[in-house]
């Protein structure tokens, strides 16, 4: 009898298969005093401080709004592990939106310098001009993103406060200010001048029952 040998290459026949999840779901609660509206994966959150709208149409998922029980449910069907993680991410985005319209977000930044004092000039509560950084003559202009506001702290020297309802806009505005004062062509271990985030919090204090 003849013997036949078959060789299967893993290049053509993958030995590992990615697991699929039939249904992944997560539910969040809409707090009192906050109104939510969901229309075609576009979520609008309205609260005492204003309104925020965000679209989640880039993901193939389902967002259900139970107005009677004040709950929002996010579902994704037949997903792999990477797509599965987007469910919790979107729920986190909506939780941040609810926190923003109720309490707001407040970031504090400090001017750090060794010799040349940094001078920050705030104009129209959404723009700052940073002057005399490392003794340079040119001015660094930074405009806040979206509805984010900026002001100088009244109780602390060389400190500014960036605040708003959208946590991403507030964080990105702080990043623009920090990136505008990066030290170039010098040893950053020695030249530590710049504007750094020193504190993160909320505009409104948490109400205690």
Mean pLDDT by 10 residues, the chain (209 residues): 56 62 94 94 96 94 94 93 91 97 97 95 95 95 96 95 97 97 94 96 77
Strand 127-131 to 50-55 pairing: unpaired
39 burial level (CB within 10 Å; 0-12, 13-18, 19+): exposed
| pLDDT for residue 87 | 94
- The whole-angstrom separation of Cα 107 and Cα 163 is 6
Neighbouring residues of 81: CB distance < 8 A, sequence distance ≥ 6: 18, 19, 21
Whole-number Å distance between alpha carbons of 31 and 25: 20
Q: How many Cβ atoms from other residues are within 10 Å of residue 100's Cβ? A: 24
Q: How far is residue 83's CA from residue 195's CA, in Å, rounded to a whole number?
A: 37
Per-residue pLDDT at 209: 45
Q: Where are the beta strands (DSSP E) in the chain?
A: 21-29, 35-39, 42-47, 50-55, 62-66, 71-79, 105-112, 119-123, 127-131, 140-143, 149-152, 159-164, 194-201
Please tell me what DSSP assigns to residue 139: P
* pLDDT value, residue 5: 55
Q: What is the pLDDT of residue 190?
A: 94
Q: Are 114 and 164 in contact (CB under 8 A)?
A: no
**Residue 207 has what pLDDT?**
65
| Positive/negative CA dihedral, 121, 103, 42, 36 | negative
């Amino acid at each position: 009898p003849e013997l036949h040998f078959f060789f299967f290459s893993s290049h053509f026949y993958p030995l590992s298969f990615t697991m699929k999840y039939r249904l992944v779901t997560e539910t969040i609660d809409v707090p009192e005093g906050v109104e939510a509206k969901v229309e075609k994966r576009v979520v609008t959150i309205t609260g005492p401080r204003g309104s925020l709208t965000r679209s989640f149409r880039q993901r193939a998922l389902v967002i259900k709004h139970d107005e009677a029980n004040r709950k929002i449910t996010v579902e994704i069907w037949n997903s792999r592990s990477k797509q599965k993680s987007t469910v919790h991410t979107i729920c986190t985005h909506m939780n941040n939106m609810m926190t923003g319209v109720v309490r707001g977000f407040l970031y504090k930044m400090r001017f750090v310098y060794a010799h040349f004092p940094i001078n920050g000039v705030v104009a129209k509560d959404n723009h700052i001009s940073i002057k005399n950084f490392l003794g340079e003559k040119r001015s660094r202009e930074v405009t806040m993103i979206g509805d984010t506001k900026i002001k100088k702290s009244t109780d602390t020297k060389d400190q500014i406060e960036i605040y708003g309802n959208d946590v991403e806009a507030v964080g990105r505005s702080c990043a623009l200010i920090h990136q505008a004062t990066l030290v170039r062509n010098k040893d950053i271990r020695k030249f530590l001048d710049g504007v750094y985030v020193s504190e993160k919090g909320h505009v409104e204090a948490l109400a205690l029952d």
